[in-house]
Amino acid sequence: METTTEKNIATFTHLSSLTQYFIPFGNYIFPIILWSSKKEESEFVDHNGKQVLNFQLSLLLYSLVLIMIAIPSFIISVFKDTSFETLVHHHDITLSNFNIENNIGMLTVGLICVLLFGLLKVAEFFLIIYASIKTSNGERYKYPITIPFIK
The pLDDT score that the predictor gives to residue 76 is 79
The pLDDT score that the predictor gives to residue 96 is 58
d(CA 127, CA 114): 20
The pLDDT score that the predictor gives to residue 93 is 57
Cα–chain-centroid distance for residue 43? 26
3-state secondary structure of 146: coil
The answer for residues whose C-beta is within 8 angstroms of residue 99's C-beta and 6 or more apart is 81
Going residue by residue through the chain, which has 151 residues, state the pLDDT in tens, using 9 for 90 and above.
788 899 999 999 999 999 999 999 989 999 999 999 988 998 999 999 999 999 999 999 999 999 999 988 888 777 776 655 554 555 655 555 656 666 777 888 889 999 999 999 999 999 999 999 999 999 999 999 999 998 8
Is residue 13 within 8 A of residue 49, CB to CB? The reply is yes
Q: What is the dihedral of CA 41, 47, 53, 56, to 10 degrees?
A: -150
The pLDDT score that the predictor gives to residue 17 is 94
The pLDDT score that the predictor gives to residue 3 is 87
**What's at 91, amino acid-wise?**
H
Of 148, 129, 125, 133, the closest CA to residue 47 belongs to 148
Q: Which helix (H) or strand (E) holds 88?
A: strand 88-89
Strands 92-93 and 88-89: antiparallel
Q: Residue 69 burial by CB count (10 A; 0-12/13-18/19+): exposed, middle or buried?
A: middle
The pLDDT score that the predictor gives to residue 84 is 54
Q: Provide the terminal-to-terminal Cα distance of the chain, rounded to the nearest Å.
A: 22
Is residue 78 within 8 A of residue 95, CB to CB? The reply is yes
